[in-house]
């Protein structure tokens, strides 16, 4: 089996630069824990090396672009390269981001050199400039061959030529195996071995006795006898379904009726793979040209009937007159439909959608439904309430955007002295509305520094400003106070400015509704309602 | 006992029998399915999937949603920017299964419809007046999805409308004590029939008197049967 390895050097830097939108020619390094993990050619030319500390690297090259490490990003950015190669030759295996292996295309492209040239051309067309290709009998040799190649070039090791090719390669290449490899290389260097050929010349038994199974495996690799295979990823199955009409149909009803079996087949075919479609693109072709294409989303998943409905709606919306011909007569370019195709756009596991026998439908369904709402009105418009510690009602709760984790919550299990006892208010106003509270003689009620209330609250009213009912800047009528409790004084964050001394009151109005009012340094405000 | 969507097994009865009950419940029209309600409210307003209820206070809206949330269902609040999370948690609403859309803006109808698709109870405070047609669209969606809509505000057609007639807090006096408990008289309006009064008490929504009970049950039978 011949193996082709495609290697994109310094892939982390390439991917990070692309994400950061910086020029691929600028010197850059990806850092992990303040140590250079990967750097690119321009940075190496300035003296930046892997394993250097950040300040050393910056001292060597002040204009060095520093990028954070992110393995997910590397893998994500490598996906298009894999797809490109997969189009030319299926059975691609990703060894790690930046390195992929595929069974070398045989005589299809004429020769292996032409095959390498074709792959190289395709990947460069995809926007990746630096790639090197190696072709050999085994994976290890192919990788080493790729490393010896120039940018956008290739090295082909002839069949049976692995051992002679590997002979001259320095033993340091084994360091890429991780800590185990680095330890082995250091030992071998101390033993005086300089190249892979030196290692391969040692007797196999002796190597196994001295260096163990790993050492023996490395020796086999160095001798061009690498037995490791790679698991190629399976291309996703073809799940489209289509139906052709001969002669072409021009009435919506006839088309709808005729797509029934196909819709059933489409759903059954997905079900065979334990899948359901939640988004389907319906395409209608007329005379070989797609004349109507639309993606339909389903809150749960499509069954055959839903699909037939979608076809009906799609064709009818495209067609005002009731028949496609009528539309044609009205001037729009519409021809009889000769083909309808269903393309699954979003496919999910059927297990997540099954109606649960015990308990309600799965939470995944809710997640997806809520994600749809977020798609409509924005990520931060859908929230999840969480409780946290605090003194005022609004401080005791936090609203976290759906799908995000709540961070930096205040602990709930502390006493929080000064918080208002009793049942929690049902309505907590995000923006407190300013209010007025007066005593018998109409004087503003205050709280002294020692927590004494200057007068008995008799009447109160909301002045407005906040949102919600009655908060349009107009003052509401005065309401007599039926009962009141308080004050609960607090002086929060006095060490760092804070809001100043304030006190909270529970006030029951004449209509029997209770409110939570705050007397701050600036005046009264309405914080919450007990409703 | 009506089959509920509880995920628990009654150990005293055969498993097969309970399974059969659940399968039977799932085969029925979703609209007939009962939705768990708080014990204090279950004989005043037993919730049924696919219907709309109207309330006039946030505490009643929370009380209607609490039963289902306690039973493991998902609930959502749309258009309620002043949601009191602590009060909801005290009533038994599981906040990890609560979705808030405080300000759906002009898309409130689409947002509500999307929430109805996946949640069991959706509490809505409509930002604008609603006409019959709009309500009809949402109604058919509710029936399909076996969800319950609780409207805090005005709505054209509802199964029952709960309104607070009077309310009294006990606890505070002139500067002493603290809010402790509340009693409220709530009228339940069903269609054109005269309203039925009930006494409820907080915290924890309990029914106080049982005077009107006979009438209620009679009315419920005629309403659901």
Within a 10 A sphere around the Cβ of B11, how many other Cβ atoms?
Answer: 6
Q: Note if the bond before B50 is cis, omega within 30 degrees.
A: no
pLDDT digits (tens, 9 = 90+) for A342-363: 988 878 887 776 655 554 455 6
Is A305 found in the same domain as A439? no
Q: Tell me the C-alpha distance between A103 and A137, whole Å.
A: 10
Contact B182 A427 (CB under 8 A): no
Q: Residue B214: its pLDDT value, please?
A: 43
Cβ within 8 Å, pair B169-A382: no
In a domain, B87, yes or no: yes
- Answer yes or no: is A282 within a domain: yes
* Residues in chain B closer than 8 A to A369 (CB atoms): 114-115, 117-119
* CB contact set of B201 (below 8 Å; sequence gap of 6+): B181, B182, B183, B184, B207, B208
User: How close B48 comes to chain A (CA, Å)?
Assistant: 16
> Does some domain include residue A140?
yes
Torsion-angle region of residue B61: left (phi > 0), alpha (psi -120 to 50) or beta?
Answer: alpha
Tell me whether residues B82 and A514 touch, CB distance under 8 A.
no
Dump pLDDT digits (tens) for B124-162: 998 888 888 888 888 888 887 788 999 998 888 888 999
Contact A340, A259 (CB under 8 A): yes
Distance CA A366, CA A346 (A): 16
How near does any CA of chain A get to the CA of B217, in Å?
A: 29
Domain residues for A21? 3-156
Query: Contacts by B185-194 with C-beta closer than 8 Å and gap 24+?
Result: B186/B44, B186/B60, B186/B162, B187/B162, B187/B163, B188/B44, B188/B45, B188/B160, B188/B161, B188/B162, B189/B160, B189/B161, B189/B162, B189/B163, B190/B159, B190/B160, B190/B161, B190/B219, B190/B223, B193/B219
- Shared domain for A146 and A179, answered yes or no, is no
A132 and A201 fall within a common domain = no
Q: Which residues contact A132 (CB under 8 A, 6 or more apart)?
A: A6, A7, A8, A9, A146, A147, A149, A150, A151, A152, A153, A154, A155
Which of A353, A375, A391 delimits the end of a domain? Answer: A353
- Beta strands, E only, chain B: 52-55, 75-78, 98-101, 121-124, 148-152, 160-170, 181-189, 196-202, 206-207
Q: How many domains does chain B have?
A: 1
Q: Are residues A259 and A307 in the same domain?
A: yes
Kindly state whether residue A373 falls inside one of the protein's structural domains: no
In this prediction, residue B134 carries a pLDDT of 84
B169 CB near a chain A CB, below 8 Å? Answer: yes
Q: Residue A196 domain-assigned?
A: yes
pLDDT of residue A353: 66
CATH code for the domain of A33: 3.40.1170.60
Contact B172, A505 (CB under 8 A): no
Clarify whether residues A9 and A145 are in a common domain: yes
| Contact at CB, B74 and A421, closer than 8 angstroms | no
Whether residue A227 is contained in a domain is answered as: no
Mutate to test the interface with A, among B10, B118, B181 (most CBs of A within 10 A): B118
Tell whether B174 is within 8 A of chain A (Cβ): yes
Chain B residues lying within 8 Å of A422, measured CB to CB = 171, 178-180
Structural domain contains residue B189: yes
Inter-residue contact A167 to A196 (CB < 8 Å): yes
Both structure tokens of A230: 């790679």
Q: What domain range includes position B163?
A: 29-224
Same domain membership, residue A142 and residue A8? yes
Q: Kindly list the residues from chain B whose CB atom is less than 8 angstroms away from the CB atom of residue A357.
A: 19, 22-23, 26
Domain final position from A156, A174, A200: A156
DSSP 8-class letter at B79? S
Q: What is the pLDDT of residue B117?
A: 86
Question: Of A385, A386, A484, which has the smallest distance from its Cβ to B172's Cβ?
Answer: A484
Q: How far is B114 from chain A (nearest CA, A)?
A: 6
Q: To probe the interface with B, which of A306, A370, A385 has the most B CB atoms within 10 Å?
A: A385
The reply to whether A88 and A205 lie within a common domain is no
CA of B112, closest CA in chain A: separation in Å?
9
Q: Which residues contact A216 (CB under 8 A, 6 or more apart)?
A: A204, A207, A208
CB A73 within 8 A of CB A67: no
Q: What is the 3-state secondary structure (H, E, C) of A58-93?
A: HHHCCCCEEEECCHHHHHHHHHHHHHHHHHHCCCEE
Say how far apart CA A239 and CA A308 lie, in whole Å.
17
Residue A149 within a domain: yes
B222–chain A nearest CA distance, Å: 29
Contact B114 A376 (CB under 8 A): yes
Residues A7, A152: one domain?
A: yes
Which residues of chain B neighbour A512 with C-beta distances below 8 Å?
166-169, 184
Peptide bond into A30 cis (omega under 30): no
Contacts of A384 in chain B (CB under 8 A): 95-96, 98-100
Tell whether A377 is covered by a domain.
no
Cβ distance A357 to B85 less than 8 Å, yes or no, reads: no
Q: Which of residues 84-123 of B touch A (CB under 8 A)?
A: 84-90, 95-105, 107, 110-111, 114-115, 117-120
pLDDT of amino acid A289: 79
Please tell me the distance in Å from A390's CA to the nearest CA on chain B: 11
Put simply, the answer to whether A530 touches B73 (Cβ < 8 Å) is no
Identify the CATH number of the domain in which residue B206 sits.
3.40.50.300
Tally of domains within chain A: 4
**pLDDT over 70 for what percent of chain B?**
84
**Residue B157 C-beta-side C-alpha neighbours within 13 Å:** 12
- A359-366: long-range pairs with CB below 8 Å, 24+: A359/B5, A359/B6, A359/B7, A359/B72, A360/B5, A360/B7, A360/B72, A360/B73, A360/B74, A360/B120, A361/B118, A363/B74, A363/B97, A365/A300, A365/B118, A366/B74, A366/B97, A366/B99, A366/B118, A366/B119
Determine the residue of chain B that is closest to A388 in CA distance: B86
Q: Is B223 part of the contact surface with chain A (CB cutoff 8 Å)?
A: no
Q: Do B118 and A299 touch (CB under 8 A)?
A: yes
Residue B1 lies in a domain: no
Task: Identify whether A90 is preceded by a cis peptide bond (ω within 30 of 0).
Answer: no
Residues A128 and A194 placed together within one structural domain of the fold: no
Task: Mark out the alpha helices in B146-224 (DSSP H runs).
Answer: 213-224
Per-residue pLDDT of B16-69, as tens digits, reads 887 777 776 666 555 567 788 888 888 888 888 888 999 998 999 999 999 989
Where is the domain boundary, A118, A139, A156? A156
**Nearest-CB residue to A422 (from B101, B104, B179):** B179
Q: Which of residues 121-160 of B touch A (CB under 8 A)?
A: none
| B218: closest CA of chain A, how far (Å) | 31
Would you call A529 and B103 a contact, using CB atoms and an 8 Å cutoff?
Answer: no
pLDDT at B14 over 70: yes
Q: Do A142 and A172 sit in the same domain of this protein?
A: no
Confidence of residue B121 (pLDDT cuts 50, 70, 90): very high
CATH number at residue A292: 3.30.1490.100
Residue A385 lies in a domain: no
DSSP A377-416: H-GGGSEEEEE---SSTTTTEEEEETTS---SPPPSSS--
Q: Calculate ∠ Cα A225-A226-A231, nearest 5°.
A: 150
Q: How far is A516 from chain B (nearest CA, A)?
A: 10
Which of A373, A387, A468 has its CB closest to that of B82?
A: A468
Q: Which residues, numbered 187 to 216 in chain B, qualify as contacts with chain A under a Cβ-Cβ cut-off of 8 Å?
A: 202-203
- Asked whether residue B11 is assigned to any structural domain, the reply reads no
Distance (Å) from the alpha carbon of B134 to chain A's nearest alpha carbon: 19
* Low-confidence residues of chain A: pLDDT under 50: 320-333, 359-360, 466-473
Chain B residues whose CB is inside 8 A of the A361 CB are 118
Among chain B residues, CA nearest to A428: B82
* A300 contact residues in B (CB cutoff 8 A): 117
Position B9 in a domain: no
Token look-up 């995920």 returns B7
- Asked if B101 lies within 8 A of A381 by C-beta distance, the reply is yes
Structure tokens at A490: 């607090």
B167: its two tokens: 């309310």
On whether any CB of chain A is under 8 Å from the CB of B58, the answer is yes
Looking at the structure, tell me whether residues A250 and A105 fall in a common domain: no
Buried b / exposed e along A377-413 (16+ C-beta atoms within 10 A):
beeebbbbbbbbebbbbbbbbbbbebeeeeeeeeeee
How far apart are alpha carbons A22 and A36 in whole angstroms?
18
Q: Same domain, yes or no, for A176 and A263?
A: no
CA of A396: which chain B residue's CA is closest? Answer: B86
Angstrom distance (rounded) from CA A66 to CA A413: 42
CB contact under 8 A, A483 and B172: yes
Q: Which of A453, A467, A506 sits opposite B172 (nearest CB)?
A: A506
Instruction: List CB contacts (< 8 A) between B169 and chain A.
Output: 483, 508, 512, 514, 530
């Amino acid at each position: 089996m011949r193996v082709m390895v495609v290697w994109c050097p310094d892939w982390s830097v390439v991917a990070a630069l692309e994400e950061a939108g910086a020029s691929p020619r600028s010197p850059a390094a990806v850092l992990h824990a303040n140590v250079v993990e990967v750097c690119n050619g321009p940075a190496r030319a300035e003296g930046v090396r892997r394993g250097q500390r950040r300040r050393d690297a910056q001292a060597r090259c002040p204009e060095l672009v520093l990028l954070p490490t992110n393995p997910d990003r590397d893998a994500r950015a490598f996906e298009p390269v894999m797809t490109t190669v997969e189009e030319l030759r299926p059975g691609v295996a990703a060894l790690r981001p930046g390195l992929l292996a595929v069974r070398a295309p045989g005589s299809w492209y004429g020769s292996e050199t032409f095959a390498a040239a074709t792959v190289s051309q395709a990947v460069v067309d995809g926007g990746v400039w630096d790639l090197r290709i190696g072709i050999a009998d085994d994976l290890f040799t192919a990788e080493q061959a790729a490393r010896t190649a120039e940018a956008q070039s290739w090295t082909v090791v002839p069949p049976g030529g692995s051992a002679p090719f590997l002979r001259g390669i320095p033993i340091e290449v084994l360091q890429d195996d991780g800590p185990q490899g680095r330890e082995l290389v250091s030992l071998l260097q101390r033993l005086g071995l300089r190249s892979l050929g030196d290692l391969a010349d040692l007797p196999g038994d002796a190597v196994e006795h001295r260096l163990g199974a790993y050492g023996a495996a490395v020796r086999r690799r160095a001798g061009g006898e690498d037995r490791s295979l790679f698991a190629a990823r399976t291309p996703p199955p073809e799940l489209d379904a289509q139906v052709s009409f001969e002669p072409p149909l021009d009435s919506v009803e006839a088309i709808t009726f005729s797509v029934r079996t196909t819709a059933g087949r489409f759903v059954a075919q997905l079900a065979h793979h334990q899948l359901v479609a939640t988004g389907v693109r319906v395409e209608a072709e007329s005379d070989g040209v797609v004349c109507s294409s639309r993606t339909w989303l389903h809150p749960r998943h499509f069954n055959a009937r839903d699909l037939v409905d979608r076809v009906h709606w799609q064709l009818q919306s495209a067609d005002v007159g009731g028949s496609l011909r009528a539309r044609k007569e009205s001037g729009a370019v519409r021809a009889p439909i000769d083909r309808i195709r269903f393309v699954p756009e979003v496919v999910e596991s059927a297990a997540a959608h099954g109606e649960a026998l015990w308990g309600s439908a799965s939470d995944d369904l809710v997640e997806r439904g809520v994600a749809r709402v977020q798609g409509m009105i924005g990520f931060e418009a859908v929230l999840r309430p969480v409780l946290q510690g605090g003194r005022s009602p609004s401080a005791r709760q936090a609203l976290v955007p759906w799908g995000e984790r709540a961070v930096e919550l205040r602990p709930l299990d502390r006493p929080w002295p000064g918080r208002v006892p009793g049942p929690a208010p049902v309505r907590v106003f995000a923006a407190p509305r300013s209010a007025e509270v007066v005593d018998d003689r109409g004087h503003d009620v205050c709280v002294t520094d020692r927590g004494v209330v200057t007068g008995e609250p008799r009447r109160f009213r909301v002045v407005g400003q906040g949102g919600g009912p009655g908060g349009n800047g107009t003052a509401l009528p005065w309401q007599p106070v039926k009962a009141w409790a308080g004050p609960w004084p607090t002086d929060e964050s006095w060490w760092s400015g804070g809001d100043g001394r304030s006190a909270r009151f529970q006030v029951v109005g004449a209509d029997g509704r209770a409110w939570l009012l705050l007397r701050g340094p600036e005046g009264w405000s309405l914080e919450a309602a007990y409703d | 006992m009506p089959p509920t969507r509880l995920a628990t097994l009654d150990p005293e009865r055969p498993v097969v029998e309970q399974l059969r009950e659940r399968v039977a419940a799932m085969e029925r029209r979703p609209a007939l399915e009962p939705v768990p309600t708080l014990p204090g409210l279950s004989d005043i307003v037993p919730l049924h999937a696919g219907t709309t209820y109207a309330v006039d206070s946030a505490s009643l809206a929370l009380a209607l949603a609490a039963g289902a949330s306690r039973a493991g269902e998902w609930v959502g609040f749309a258009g309620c920017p002043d949601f009191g999370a602590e009060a909801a948690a005290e009533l038994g609403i599981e906040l990890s299964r609560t979705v808030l859309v405080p300000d759906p803006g002009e898309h409130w109808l689409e947002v509500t419809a999307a929430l109805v698709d996946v949640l069991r109870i959706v509490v809505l405070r409509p930002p604008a007046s609603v006409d019959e047609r709009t309500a009809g669209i949402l109604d058919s969606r509710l029936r399909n999805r076996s969800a319950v809509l609780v409207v805090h505000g005005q709505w054209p057609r509802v199964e029952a409308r709960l309104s607070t007639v009077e309310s009294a807090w006990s606890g505070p006096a002139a500067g002493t004590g603290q809010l402790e408990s509340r009693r409220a008289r709530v009228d339940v309006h069903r269609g054109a029939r005269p309203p039925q009064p009930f006494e409820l008490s907080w915290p924890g929504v309990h029914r106080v008197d049982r005077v009107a009970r006979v009438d209620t049950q009679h009315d419920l039978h005629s309403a659901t049967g």
